[in-house]
Amino acid sequence: MAFADRKSLAAHRYKFSKFLISLDGSSVGKPGFIFLYSTRTGRLAKVPSSLGDALLQSFVDEQRFEELSSLIDKGIIVPISQNEIVALAEENQLLENNRKALRFVFQPSGFCQMECGYCGQDHVNEKSHRNVIRDSVSFLDRMIGSRNIELLELGFFGAEAMTGFPEIQLFCDLLKPTLSKYSCRVMSKLVTNGLSVTPSRIAFLKGNAGLASVEVTLDGPPGIHEQSRPMRGGKNESFVRILRNTEMLSRTGGVLTVIRINVSSANVGHISKLLKILANSEIDRNQATVYFAPVHSWGNDAHKSALDPDTFAELDVGWRAMLLNLGWDVGQLPKRRVATCIATTDDGWVVDHSGGVFDCTEKPLVGSYSDHRKGSISDLASGVPLRADRSFRQFGPDLPTSSMCGQCFALPVCGGRCPKEWAEGRIPCPSFKLQAENYLRLAFAAKSFGEKM
């Protein structure tokens, strides 16, 4: 929102945004001030502690326009008449419309070498048939052409995506002419257990699918990781191999390595040991980051071994601090979330290895979600529409009126987080919501560390 001139500025009354984190300056060595961080804009303002509604109005009366403009630009204050929730939804819609992007998650194989305890998938030793791959590309060709798409965001997911690497190669080879024909850029993310990534495979994905990030999971130090993520057939020493591959990945230029750590009551007591191992490894910290995820229901009862949200959040921020103390800034502040996920948009699809189409990556290969299949890729390729509406298309529009999300300062960066969790009766609020001030303090600490790292 912009005000062209002082007359416009003076014509309004203002209120503080509801999407703010407020931090007492004395907690970061600046007594007498408050830091206000806008989750809507990702910007920060330092204001006197005495700045309240009355003083804010005095800015208008005293024509302190530069200060007003700054606070408006940063999203710290908004016109008193603005319904911010509605404005946020409109901004998100505009940003989505302007993106000209499609999201497509491809599952090349139904197989995985691991049998993780929390996994809800029923793995099968099957790969994506050539026809499924052809139909996927044919569908994408039609969508990219008809919607003037400029960016294709690909996801390679499993089971274990790398067990279907020849299928990924075929998919990329068939897709190339489409991307060239429409001058469409491609960017991809690979989610993998880390066992079968090789430099040549990563080089292929970089060159042919615009690989931008790779996510690998490690659930603890040696022994603990294997208890959480055992391999099939009794072979059970995967930690070292995955760590070495993660080191290799992190040294691949232009690709962000994301280490995911799933946390449950079983491994929580061992995470700090894992973090020390990671910090002392050959991982290139400039190209790698870490995040912690609570185990969740994947069509099963895995969530029953999750920690309570407050404890998890306290640990999350403490583990981030630990990594920072070890010289590794893994990022402390969240990005604006314009669309919650694939399931809440009209421009995202998940295709499983058998050609089934879903609107959520949690559903393929999960028996209890088999009736959530939206159709087949062969139908989509032929122009036959999906048989069922997207499960959560109304999730975004309904957020403003939701009793929790509609009033939450974290909404711009959270987007409700996971519609499936809400639908199944669970509250998926992120740790950021529960420890916002500490995340902001850590961001200041990271900046202080900055040059010293």
Partner 1 sequence: MDKLQTKKEIELAKAELEKALKKIDADEVTAEADLEKMAESAKALLDINGIC
CA distance 145 to 135: 15
Report strand pairing: 288-294 vs 14-16: unpaired
Regarding beta strands 44-48 and 33-38, do their DSSP bridges make them parallel or antiparallel, or are they unpaired?
Answer: antiparallel
CA distance 385 to 375: 8
In angstroms, give the least distance from the CB of 225 to partner 1: 16
**Angle in degrees, 0-180, between the axes of helices 199-209 and 239-250, rounded to the nearest 10:** 40
Residue (177 or 327) nearer to partner 1, CB = 327
Q: Which of 229, 228, 193 is nearest to 214 (CA)?
A: 193
- Least distance from C-beta 151 to partner 1, angstroms? 13
Q: How far is the CB of 128 from partner 1 (least distance, A)?
A: 17
- Please say whether the beta carbons of 89 and 337 come within 8 A: no
| DSSP letter string, 267-290 | TGGGHHHHHHHHHTSS--GGGEEE
C-alpha distances in Å from residue 376, one per residue of 135, 161, 373, 403: 10, 20, 8, 36
Q: Which residue has the tokens 């028996």?
A: 367
Cβ neighbours of 221 (radius 10 Å): 20
230 versus 318: smaller Cβ distance to partner 1: 318
Question: 398, 86 in Cβ contact below 8 A?
Answer: no
Q: Which residue, 149 or 418, is less far from partner 1 as judged by CB?
A: 418
The secondary element (H helix, E strand) that includes residue 375 is: strand 375-376
Of 8 and 448, nearer to partner 1 (C-beta) is 448
Query: For residues 108 and 353, is the Cβ–Cβ distance under 8 A?
Result: yes
Shortest distance, CB of residue 239 to partner 1, whole angstroms?
19
Identify which of 40, 54, 53 has the alpha carbon closest to the alpha carbon of residue 88: 40
Considering the complex, state which of residue 29 and residue 425 has its C-beta at the smaller distance from partner 1: 29
Nearer to partner 1, 25 or 222 (CB): 25
Other CB atoms closer than 10 Å to residue 93's CB: what's the count? 14
Q: How far is the CB of 262 from partner 1 (least distance, A)?
A: 12
Question: Minimum distance from CB of 383 to partner 1 (Å)?
Answer: 25
Provide the 8-state DSSP code for 415. Answer: T
Report, in Å, the least distance between residue 297 CB and partner 1.
11
Tell me the closest approach of the beta carbon of residue 140 to partner 1, in angstroms. 16
* Residue nearer to partner 1 on the CB measure, 33 or 80: 33
Q: Give whichever of 178 and 262 is closer to partner 1, judged by the CB atom.
A: 262
